[in-house]
Chains A and B, each alone.
Chain A
Amino acid sequence: MHDLSNLGPRIIMSFGDGSVYITETVFFGMIVGAILIILALWSTHRMEKYPKGKQVVAEFIVEAIYKMTTGTMGKSCSNFAPYIGTLFIFLLLGNALGLFGFRPVTADVNMTFALALITFILIHYNSVKSMGWKGKLKHMASPYPFMFLLSLIESISKPISLGFRLFGNILGGVIVMALVFTGLGAASDALHLPIPLLQAVIPLPVNAFFDIFEPVVQAYIFTMLTMIFISLEMAVHSDNEDH
C-alpha cells in the first residue's frame, strides 16, 4: 500500500537531468483516460436501431447524464452534458483507483486544481457569453458597488474550495487506508502469522467506504457543484430578460 513517510505521488519516469518527470498521477490519469476512450469507442461500435447488449448500457449512461444535466441546469443547457458526463466518469474511475491498490488520481492537489480551473474558466466564459462584459460587471457590483470586491473574492474562492474539497477527501481516505494496512501488518507480524491473515479480511469495510462509497459521493458532488456554479452565473441573465 501507500508509504506513510512519503505522501506525495512517486516519480515514475524522468527525462534529461531529472527536472522533467512523470508522476503516478499523470501516469494513472492517462491510463484512466485511455480506458474511457476505449470503452466509448467499443460501446458505440456498430450501433443498431434496436439496441441490445452493450448499446443498451451505453444509452442508459448517456441518457442518465443528460437527465442529470438538464434537471440541474435547465433544458437550455443540454450542451454541457458531454463535459459533465466525462468529468463524472473520469472522477469516478480516478477516485476508485485505490480499490486496485494504486494511488487515486485525485489524491494530488495538481489534478484537482486543474479540474477546478476548468470549472472556473467555464463559469466565467459562459457568464460573459450570456451577459456580456458590461452585464457581468454590473452583476458583480449589484446590489451595491462595494459588493464588487466581495464577489471578486467569492469567484476566486469557489475553485479553491472545489479543488481542496476533492483533494482533502480523497487524501484523507488514502491516509486512513495506509494507517489501517500498516497497523494490521504490524499486528500480524507481532502474532507471527505465516500469511498476513489480518490484512486480508478486516480492511474490507474500510475499503468499501473509502474506495467505493466516497469516490461516488465526491464525483457526484464535484460535478453537481460545477453545474450549480455555472448555472448560477447564467440564471441571473434569464431573470433580467423578463423585466
Chain B
Amino acid sequence: MSLVTPEAFVLGMSALGAACTGLAAVGIGLGQGFAAGKAVEGVARQPEAQGDILKTMVVGQAVAETTGIFAFIVSVALIFINPLVGML
C-alpha cells in the first residue's frame, strides 16, 4: 500500500527538479554583477570609452547568461511538457 501514486510522485519530483534549476541564476547574478561593476570602473577611469565598454559588457553578459537560459529551458520542459510521466 502506497501513500502517493507513481504519477504524483514523478510530477512532484519534476517540480522539485525544476525549482533546483533556479540555482543556476545565482551564478549568473554574480557574473553579470561583476561584469557591470568592472564596466563602471572602466567608465569612471575613461569616460570617453563608454560606448565601447557598454557594447563589450552587454555581449559578455549575454554569453554568461547562456547556462541560465539552458537551466530555464530544462525547467520549462519539466513543468509544461513533462517527458518523465510518459515513461511510467
Contacts and interface: CB of A to CB of B under 8 A. Distances in A.
Contact of B59 (A167, A171, A221): A221
A165 B59 contact: no
> Which label, helix, strand, loop or mixed, suits the secondary structure of the B interface?
helix
Nearest to A109: B73
B interface, size bucket? 10 to 19
Q: How large is the interface on A (under 10, 10 to 19, 20 to 34, 35 or more residues)?
A: 10 to 19
A164 B55 contact: no
A224 B65 contact: no
Interface string A207-222: 0000000000100110
A7 B72 CA distance: 14
B58 A161 contact: no
A172 interface: yes
A164 B59 contact: no
A172 B72 contact: yes
B73 A175 contact: no
Contacts of B66: 161, 164-165
A196 interface: no
B70 interface: yes
Interface string B45-72: 0000000000100110011011001101
B73 A168 contact: yes
B67 to A, nearest CB: 9
Interface of A: 7, 161, 164-165, 167-169, 171-172, 175, 217, 220-221, 224-225, 228
